[in-house]
């Protein structure tokens, strides 16, 4: 009965007029920006984050969640229509989705993506509602030593699941932690890496880092390849799948939902791994494997379901442990903190309306996605024709204004420029900015719990090994690090993240 009472509280919060309105606005804005080629959910949420700062916490987080779903769906639309996925997890959708579009079947491909996403989102929301409370109760028993080990485990697992070189991912996390130490020492107040600039005493603003690394850097990278983005879209017809299509997508949607729900809680690239794994599974179990890569609707329905289910269950570690599973969740951590809320196991007790309202809004957001996106597909097609040189300066301008309005500090705008250029350089060097953002967000939490545990134990470092839960988490972290650098595992990891021909 407690679950039903909590869900009733959540839906009564989510169905408030202003929350439904801003959820709708979030889905609309997220899709509008996410549909642009080369812009994924992380960049979209980062650039639109500043507009939520003046809202009530629950309204702001509901809107951000809507932006996230909308951006994800927008990325799959771009992948299907013009073969330019907004992020890694949509790359699999492009393999068969774009082939279907070239065959004049863009409508069924988009419908399969929408139906799969809605079903998977609904199931994953139920899983989140059931799994989050008991996990939060367990997390309340964690002390500083356990939290340090847990954060360390999250960072190392994100290295194991990152694309490309594990060494580069480790370097990016270390760089993020280093930037996270800028400002005054948390216990002594001593300035660190501030270069006598009082504007840095409070640390580097999270929003500036996010907008620079994922907004400006992605825009620079996409402008570099302007000549490669010729839109080959036409009027989309016959949105509803045929009877044969509907029979073929049932199995992939069910399997994708299960895979995505399980893999979404993994730190780092769980949502990406879910999409690629779903595609591999569907190709293996299909009676028509030769159609994959040539327009198989199963290759759209399965990965899209897995991606959306993983997107929902990635909220589980955020809401129960305060740990972001991937960069978008790191942005959500920033949003919690900006509104004066510490994400973690106490949220469910201290802010029950926010906790359950956010969960209920996920289902509402998925309904709005289906109702909004399929009828407006013609408008998204027209948006794909807007030149980047016109659109992107406007996006950067509004993101900079929003970031400046948070603290009215010019340093925040300078930081956007700095981290934008840094992110672009990192991309050109083959380094992913995502681990750096995770390091920046989790670094202060890592330091705080490390020092708090040592203070409580009077400097005895063995406290991390003598406490059972902490010792187990550290052992798993060491095992994950060893596995990540083993040659056979590294080769297999690269194969998982490589697009199949």
- pLDDT < 50: residue spans in the chain: 227-232, 496-501
**How far apart (Å, rounded) are the C-alpha atoms in residues 122 and 119?**
5
Closest among 126, 153, 447 to 258, alpha carbons compared: 126
**Looking at residue 52, what DSSP letter applies?**
G
Question: 312-356, pLDDT tens digit by residue?
Answer: 888 888 888 777 877 788 888 888 888 888 887 888 888 888 888
DSSP string, 435-492: HHHHHHHHHHHHHHHHHHHHHHTTT-TTHHHHSHHHHHHHHHHHHHHHHHHSHHHHHH
pTM for the complete prediction? 0.73
pLDDT of residue 500: 42
Question: 25-80, pLDDT tens digit by residue?
Answer: 888 888 887 777 656 677 778 778 888 878 888 898 889 888 888 888 777 877 78
pLDDT of residue 499: 43
Residue whose structure tokens are 């899709």? 31
Residue whose structure tokens are 């951006």? 71
């Amino acid at each position: 009965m407690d679950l039903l009472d909590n869900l009733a509280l959540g839906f009564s919060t989510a169905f408030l007029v202003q929350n439904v309105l801003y959820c709708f606005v979030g889905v609309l804005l997220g899709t509008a920006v996410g549909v642009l080629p080369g812009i994924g959910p992380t960049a979209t949420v980062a650039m639109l984050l500043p507009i939520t700062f003046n809202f009530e916490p629950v309204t702001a987080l509901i809107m951000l969640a809507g932006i996230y779903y909308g951006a994800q769906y927008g990325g799959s639309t771009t992948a299907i229509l013009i073969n330019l996925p907004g992020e890694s997890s949509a790359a699999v959708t492009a393999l068969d989705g774009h082939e279907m579009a070239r065959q004049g079947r863009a409508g069924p491909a988009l419908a399969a993506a929408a139906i799969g996403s809605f079903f998977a989102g609904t199931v994953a929301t139920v899983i989140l509602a059931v799994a989050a409370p008991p996990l939060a109760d367990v997390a309340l028993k964690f002390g500083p030593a356990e939290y340090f080990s847990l954060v360390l485990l999250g960072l190392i697992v994100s290295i194991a699941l990152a694309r490309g070189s594990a060494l580069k991912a480790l370097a990016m996390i270390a760089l993020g932690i280093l930037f996270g130490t800028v400002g005054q020492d948390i216990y002594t107040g001593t300035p660190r890496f501030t270069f006598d600039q009082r504007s840095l005493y409070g640390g580097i603003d999270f929003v500036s880092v996010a907008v620079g690394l994922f907004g400006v850097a992605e825009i620079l990278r996409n402008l570099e390849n302007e000549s490669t983005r010729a839109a080959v879209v036409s009027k989309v017809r016959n949105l509803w799948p045929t009877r044969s299509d509907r029979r073929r997508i049932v199995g992939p949607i069910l399997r994708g939902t299960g895979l995505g729900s399980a893999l979404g809680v993994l730190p780092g690239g769980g949502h990406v791994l879910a999409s690629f794994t779903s595609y591999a599974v569907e190709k293996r179990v299909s009676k028509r494997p030769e159609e994959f890569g040539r327009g198989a609707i199963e290759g759209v329905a399965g990965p899209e379901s897995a991606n959306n289910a993983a997107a929902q269950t990635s909220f589980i570690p955020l809401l129960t442990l305060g740990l972001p599973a991937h960069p978008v969740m790191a942005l959500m951590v920033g949003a919690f903190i900006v509104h004066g809320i510490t994400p973690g196991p106490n949220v469910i007790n201290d802010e029950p309306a926010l906790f359950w309202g956010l969960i209920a809004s996920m289902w509402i957001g998925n309904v709005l996605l289906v109702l909004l996106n399929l009828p407006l597909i013609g408008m998204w097609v027209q948006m794909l024709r807007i030149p980047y040189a016109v659109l992107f300066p406007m996006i950067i301008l509004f993101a900079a204004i929003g970031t400046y309005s948070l603290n009215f500090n010019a340093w925040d705008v300078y930081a956007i420029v700095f981290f934008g250029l840094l992110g672009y350089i990192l991309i050109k060097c083959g380094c992913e900015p995502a681990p750096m953002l995770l390091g920046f967000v989790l670094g202060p939490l890592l330091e705080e719990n490390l020092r708090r545990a040592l203070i409580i134990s009077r400097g005895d470092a063995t406290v991390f090994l003598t406490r059972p839960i902490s010792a187990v988490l550290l052992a798993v972290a060491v095992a994950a690090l060893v596995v990540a650098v083993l040659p056979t595992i590294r080769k297999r990891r690269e194969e998982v993240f490589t697009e199949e021909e």
